[in-house]
Amino acid sequence: MARRKVLILGGGLSALSAGVHLLQEGGAAAFDVTVLCMEHRLGGKAASWRLPDGRYMEIGFHGVFGYYRAIQTLLARAGHPVTDPRWFTPNDGVHLMYEAGARAVNRLDIPDGPLDVAALFDGGFIGYKGMSFTEKLAAATWLAKTGAQLLLGEVPPEIDEHAFTAWCVDTGLDIELTRKSWFRYVLDLAFNFPAEGSAYVGMYGFQRLMSPDNSTVHYLNGPLSEVIVAPIAQLFVSLGGKIEFCTKATRIELDPATRLVTEIGTRAMATAQPIAGVVDHVTPVPLGGGYSLDESPYPVGDPAPASGAPERTWRRGADFDDVISALPVDSLRTLLGTTSRFDEAVLDVPELRATWGLRSVASLSLRVWLPKKVMPTDYTTVVMGTPQPCATVIDYTNRVTELTNGTWGSVVEFEGQEGLHAGLSDRAIVRETLRSFVDLPFVDRTKIDVDQVLAQTHGNQWSFRRNTAQHLRYLLMEPGHWKYRPRQDVRPYANLTLTGDWMAGTQPTASMEAAVRTGRVAATLLRADSGLPAPVA
């Protein structure tokens, strides 16, 4: 019997997860799977790539949380388990939280559970700088009370209709405590600042962090591309999957009568060209054909389709039987808008029309290479709660490949989102981020000169990405957004399955875990269609 042909649109972790889980345990005999990577590199919002001199630029947070079970399982299958010190270093449940009011970094040890009031005090609150004893008591009491009512059970999606801050205040939290970094960072981590976040997403995050095992973060010893993306891509290829690189989905044809996808149109992307004076370019792999794991798959650029490049038409029956879309919501909506009978095919389909109720936000990624060490030795981890626009500072000194030869004293990463800074230029954002950084009390400001860093002189370098491209934007998890997230098991077009970290699922945060989980669900649905069991978790 001929294998069922499946096209997966996208090159991020959700696409690769769908491909791996589709092909494992007998799937390779039933499916012919091709990932159509929508840009010059794999990884999507978890991408990294080399600059011409060998340095790495990154997009996204560099850690795997303890409750990220699906991606941990996938990484283990790919030969990069989080328990291997070559690839990961655990934080042992200790989180560094900067509290601006006290100008101090607090080391938060996560307690055994929400009712462990003694541990809440001993493990963080009792020594937390920036809160009075009365505030600490009020916070611990609220956590214990809320835990008894909610955190010990399932967080109900219905509270998504409430704003996170307002819901917490309504359930007894002192409003002054919502201005503290340990509270506000829930919104920062979800890329929601300055917008208010969903109470469902916020309380889900609290619930997941309220145990030592769940609060462990396995920080990457190296770039996302080498530690996470490449081994999963290699696993997919080893199972028989194919990756076609440097293509752009430009058209989809939906037949509202038969409720089938009948055509997909793609074009080769334009070759990324160097920009004079901007060191953010490497040569992409050749256009077209297959994807070689021996070539560097992480060049930079978000190019449009190549001028004059012929469109390739993929037709149902001849070229595909099923389509899995692993595109982010903005990209999917743009693609859906190309079908010739848009009103009938999309607007008249409630499950597709609802996605127009979702909004997204642009993230920021700044990486700075410094000739001298500027942070304390025991800060080679993530410091949360730092000033916007980048509320997360990651010091990867002694953990990244650029430092193994001793060229750099520090490699510091800043992650955040545009928020109130959307109107500023890239350079203005970088300047503000650097000025906020040198003002932090734990930074040795005698070893860093903001003007020299900006000018990239005296041995300083930086690279900045404002991730505004459709495929790099994060879902804005605002109150009331949950009802617009599509369910994966509701497929209005029988041969179109959606996946991605913005779908409705058991992991409501936009994350690598959500991407991998929803990819597995997509594979489960197609395997069931072919009479195969669900993939192994």
Q: Is position 69 within any domain?
A: no
The pLDDT of residue 215: 75
- Residue 203: other Cβ atoms inside 10 A: 23
Q: Is position 81 within any domain?
A: no
Q: Which of 417, 439, 467 is the last residue of a domain?
A: 467
Count of domains for the chain: 3
| Residues 230-280 pLDDT 10s | 899 989 989 999 988 767 888 999 999 999 999 999 987 655 544 344 333
Q: Is position 76 within any domain?
A: no
For CA atoms 108, 112, 114, 115, the dihedral sign is negative
The pLDDT of residue 402: 62
Q: Is position 115 within any domain?
A: yes
Q: Is the peptide bond before 508 cis (omega within 30 degrees of 0)?
A: no
The pLDDT of residue 310: 82
Domain check: are 228 and 354 in the same one?
yes
Domain check: are 99 and 213 in the same one?
yes
The pLDDT of residue 246: 66
Domain check: are 143 and 228 in the same one?
no
Q: Is 186 exposed, middle or buried (0-12, 13-18, 19+ CB in 10 A)?
A: buried
Domain check: are 394 and 290 in the same one?
no
Domain check: are 367 and 420 in the same one?
yes
Q: By the 8 A CB rule, do 243 and 237 touch?
A: yes
Domain check: are 229 and 331 in the same one?
yes
Domain check: are 509 and 396 in the same one?
no
Q: Which of 193, 171, 154 is closest to 417 using CA atoms?
A: 193
Domain check: are 210 and 238 in the same one?
no
Residue 218 is inside which H or E element, if any?
strand 217-220
- Residue 483: other Cβ atoms inside 10 A: 12
Structural domain of 315: 4-61+224-358+481-529
Domain check: are 103 and 173 in the same one?
yes
Q: Which of 425, 443, 467 is the last residue of a domain?
A: 467
Q: Which of 434, 423, 441, 422 is closest to 460 using CA atoms?
A: 434
**Could you state, in chain order, the average pLDDT of each consecutive group of 10 residues for the chain (537 residues)?**
92 96 95 87 82 76 87 96 92 83 82 51 67 86 76 85 95 91 82 88 81 76 86 91 82 97 86 41 32 35 59 95 96 93 97 96 91 84 86 75 71 88 89 96 95 96 85 91 96 97 90 95 97 90
Number of H helices, E strands in the chain: 17, 22
Q: Is position 536 within any domain?
A: no
For residue 143, CA distances in Å to 107, 118, 135, 150, 523 come to 18, 12, 12, 10, 38
The pLDDT of residue 294: 37
- Residue 38: other Cβ atoms inside 10 A: 27
Rounded distance between C-alpha atoms, residue 43 and residue 37, angstroms: 9
Domain check: are 181 and 95 in the same one?
yes
Domain check: are 240 and 290 in the same one?
yes
Domain harbouring 232, CATH code = 3.50.50.60
Torsions phi, psi for 32 (to 5 deg): -110, 110
Q: Is position 23 within any domain?
A: yes
Residue 71 is inside which H or E element, if any?
helix 69-77
Q: Is position 173 within any domain?
A: yes
Q: Is position 121 within any domain?
A: yes
Domain check: are 232 and 306 in the same one?
yes
Q: Is 368 exposed, middle or buried (0-12, 13-18, 19+ CB in 10 A)?
A: buried
